[in-house]
Amino acid sequence: MVEAQLVLTALMGLFLAGVAVWLSRIEDWRSYTPLAGGGGAVGEESGYAHNEKPSGLIRWLTTVDHKDIGILYGVYSIIAFAVGGIMVILMRTELLTPDEAIIGSQFYNSLLTSHGITMLFLFGTPMIAAFGNYFIPLLVNAEDMAFPRINAIAFWMLPPGALLVWAGFLVVPFTDIQPAQTAWTLYTPLSAGVGTGTQAGVSGLGIDFMLLGLHFTGLSATMGAINFIATIFTDRGSDVNWANLDIFSWTMLTQSGLILFAFPLLGSALIMLLLDRNFGTTFFLAEGGGPILWQHLFWFFGHPEVYILALPPMGLVSFILPKFSGRKLFGFKFVVYSTLAIGVLSFGVWAHHMFATGIDPRIRASFEAVSLAIAIPSAVKVFNWTTTLWGGNLRLTAPMLFCVGAVSNFIFGGVTGVFTAAIPIDLVLHDTYYIVGHFHYILMGLLAFTVFAGIYYWFPIITGKMYQKRLAKWHFWLTMIGTNITFFAMLLLGYLGMPRRYATYTFGVGPQQIIEVLHQVTTLGAFILLVGQIIWVWNMIQSWYEAPTLQDNDPWDLKETGQFTNEWGWNERRLETAIADGGEEEEATMTDGGDPVDGSADAE
């Protein structure tokens, strides 16, 4: 019996190896050409790939162009951002009153869980990949990403991932299956299906869906990271070297390194949890590895994830802010080396999320030390940004406003983080709204703000149009005011002892009336944010469709200050090519073996 299994395994291995060899013979993985070797149903050997992309939906379903994939990532992320935003608006509406009045605690818990997962995995990481995909090859003068098809696969793993993460909500009207209600941290034993609550048995299948969805997003992020690393290391243009690599590429490179080490661990932990839930293993049960093992594995991924979401935004600020300050980034190399330092140290701080779990105080002390050390490189960046602004010729355009806002919010988020790196303070504040306020200052205040800055800054390249200035300013001020009202009130709620994750606050913790008012203020801030984002979406869509085409390829006057970087240079060549061709922009023509005929064009 055992021999038969071994033989079967060996045969299957040989078969898979044969498939791999066969595929490697017929496919050139780095090529644009669907069937590079010739033959097949639609391909033929030509030495050239397609001259133009197919039109309509087929273009978007089949594209391997890094710019198209960047746009796909962006649209996907914005949809996820909207879904996550609607979820939190429902939650904040529930929290207007202390008791369970509007959506009920179970639905609240489901929304809480999915809001976190959606914003981190379906909005944050993919949105950064959107910028990376569109602009990293342009910034480093590469023809495309190193592995264009893997790039496409990485993106197309995300939609099924999102559907699985939200599957509980989609099936709950028709089945007994409940959406996951574990919070995004998926702490065991609750998430392992222990007990008889809604998270076990059939009703807990929502968690299984969510775990599988998370696994998809993890695979996607890992593939993307490998692609970014390979692109920056091997596909740089001859004029781009380590000394003049732009700061955004540096942060993407560091972030990709973090993803490479962090996400596979998350994948392993998710599989272990699935096995615990469905196959009777005891990795995270008290009789086996114990619930704290999950927290160790999760946070070993989870804290680098924080920097996976924060480093590229820092790169965006470092990249965009000098453009509107009329001068170069102060201490460019300080920012580069501190980025790398954050990348390294981020793997040594994971248990500061677990100070309250009762782990050995000597171990806790070590994590506190590294947590304090990692504050330095983060602070260095703030000083560099501030010094860049100091005495600069500031132009308060929308991308600049969002950058300055991001720096301001990051100071709030960073300083509140330093406090909680200290064990005694963390023990008091850990399960309160203080933590929620702290990390939202980073995720909304830094990540989302820099995403907006990046979108406004590169809007002319992506669309060939300019956004509407007045609406952009409304968007900024509503977002800035909304963010600070919402999350500062959360910090105060935390100081008053309001525990997080609850749908109600009728229990007698702290001064009830003040807590109620602060919750209402927080909800007000969330609604202000909602209005701001609606204005933004309107601005983007209307400007893309209706704004006149830009005639000037230097809308930010970057040439004046010598900051006309590679992506704008690429855009200039694209526009010149379009004029030479008779006014229509032609698609890039790449070869699969010879020299590129024209690597600078793009279709609209």
Partner 1 sequence: MSERTFDRETLLDLTVNIVPLGILTFFILVFLFASPWELDPFVTAISIGLLVVPFAVLVLVTFVSGRAVAQDEQSAATAGELSASDATLDSGVEEEPVSDDHPESDAENDESNDTERDDAGGDEDDEN
Binding to partner 1 (CB under 8 A): which residues in 131-150?
139
Peptide bond preceding 291: is omega within 30 degrees of 0, i.e. cis?
no
Residue in 242, 419, 507, 538 binding partner 1, rule: CB under 8 A: 242
For residue 598, the cross-strand partners are 589
Residues 195, 254: contact at Cβ < 8 Å?
Answer: no
Residues 90, 84: contact at Cβ < 8 Å?
Answer: no
* In the complex, least distance from residue 410 CB atom to partner 1, rounded to whole angstroms: 18
3-state helix, strand, coil in the chain (%, to 5): 70, 0, 30
- Does 557 bind partner 1 (CB under 8 A)? Our answer is yes
Total residues at interface with partner 1 (CB under 8 A): 72
Residue in 35, 102, 274, 340 binding partner 1, rule: CB under 8 A: 340
CA dist 381 → 99, 125, 246, 329, 350 (Å):
43, 21, 15, 10, 22
**Residue 464 to residue 543: CA distance in whole angstroms:** 10
* In the complex, least distance from residue 463 CB atom to partner 1, rounded to whole angstroms: 13
Binding mask 495-534 for partner 1 (x = CB under 8 A): ----------------------------------------
The per-residue DSSP string of 438-449 comes to HHHHHIIIIIIH
Q: Based on CB atoms, which residue is closest to partner 1, 333 or 501?
A: 333
- Does 362 bind partner 1 (CB under 8 A)? Our answer is yes
* In the complex, least distance from residue 513 CB atom to partner 1, rounded to whole angstroms: 42
* In the complex, least distance from residue 238 CB atom to partner 1, rounded to whole angstroms: 8
- Does 576 bind partner 1 (CB under 8 A)? Our answer is no
* In the complex, least distance from residue 290 CB atom to partner 1, rounded to whole angstroms: 17
Q: What is the DSSP letter of 549?
A: P
Q: Which region among 1-9, 208-216, 288-296, 466-474 touches partner 1 (by CB under 8 A)? A: 466-474
* In the complex, least distance from residue 449 CB atom to partner 1, rounded to whole angstroms: 18
Counting every residue written for the chain, the total comes to 604
Q: Based on CB atoms, which residue is closest to partner 1, 508 or 562?
A: 562
Q: What are phi and psi of 425, to 5 degrees?
A: -70, -40
- Does 573 bind partner 1 (CB under 8 A)? Our answer is no
Residues 565, 246: contact at Cβ < 8 Å?
Answer: yes
**Burial environment of residue 249 by CB neighbours within 10 A (0 to 12, 13 to 18, 19 or more):** buried
- Does 329 bind partner 1 (CB under 8 A)? Our answer is yes
Binding to partner 1 (CB under 8 A): which residues in 372-411?
372-374, 376-377, 380, 387, 390-398
Specify the amino acid at residue 167. Answer: A
Residues 6+ apart with CB under 8 A from 350: 296, 299, 300, 302, 303, 304, 367
- Does 330 bind partner 1 (CB under 8 A)? Our answer is yes
Residue in 22, 333, 506, 514 binding partner 1, rule: CB under 8 A: 333
**Residue 336 to residue 381: CA distance in whole angstroms:** 9
**Residue 429 to residue 419: CA distance in whole angstroms:** 10
* In the complex, least distance from residue 69 CB atom to partner 1, rounded to whole angstroms: 22
Specify the amino acid at residue 508. Answer: G
Q: Based on CB atoms, which residue is closest to partner 1, 218 or 343?
A: 343
- Does 546 bind partner 1 (CB under 8 A)? Our answer is no
Binding mask 90-129 for partner 1 (x = CB under 8 A): ----------------------------------------
* In the complex, least distance from residue 558 CB atom to partner 1, rounded to whole angstroms: 9
Q: Which region among 83-91, 153-161, 204-212, 561-569 touches partner 1 (by CB under 8 A)? A: 561-569
* In the complex, least distance from residue 258 CB atom to partner 1, rounded to whole angstroms: 12
* In the complex, least distance from residue 328 CB atom to partner 1, rounded to whole angstroms: 6
Q: Which region among 93-101, 263-271, 366-374, 501-509 touches partner 1 (by CB under 8 A)? A: 366-374
**Residue 80 to residue 126: CA distance in whole angstroms:** 10
- Does 345 bind partner 1 (CB under 8 A)? Our answer is yes
Rounded to a whole number, what is the largest CA-CA distance in the chain?
79
Q: What is the DSSP letter of 240?
A: -
Residue in 144, 208, 235, 246 binding partner 1, rule: CB under 8 A: 246
Count of C-beta atoms within a 10 Å radius of residue 391:
10
- Does 25 bind partner 1 (CB under 8 A)? Our answer is no
- Does 42 bind partner 1 (CB under 8 A)? Our answer is no
Q: Which region among 97-105, 190-198, 239-247, 274-282 touches partner 1 (by CB under 8 A)? A: 239-247
Please give the structure tokens belonging to residue 276: 């615990």
CA dist 114 → 166, 230, 444, 519 (Å):
7, 33, 16, 21
**Residue 517 to residue 511: CA distance in whole angstroms:** 10
Among residues 538, 575, 539, the alpha carbon closest in space to that of 554 is found at: 575
Specify the amino acid at residue 259. Answer: I
* In the complex, least distance from residue 141 CB atom to partner 1, rounded to whole angstroms: 8
* In the complex, least distance from residue 414 CB atom to partner 1, rounded to whole angstroms: 15
* In the complex, least distance from residue 71 CB atom to partner 1, rounded to whole angstroms: 22
Please give the structure tokens belonging to residue 156: 């197309």
Q: Based on CB atoms, which residue is closest to partner 1, 288 or 555?
A: 555
Residue in 113, 563, 571, 600 binding partner 1, rule: CB under 8 A: 563
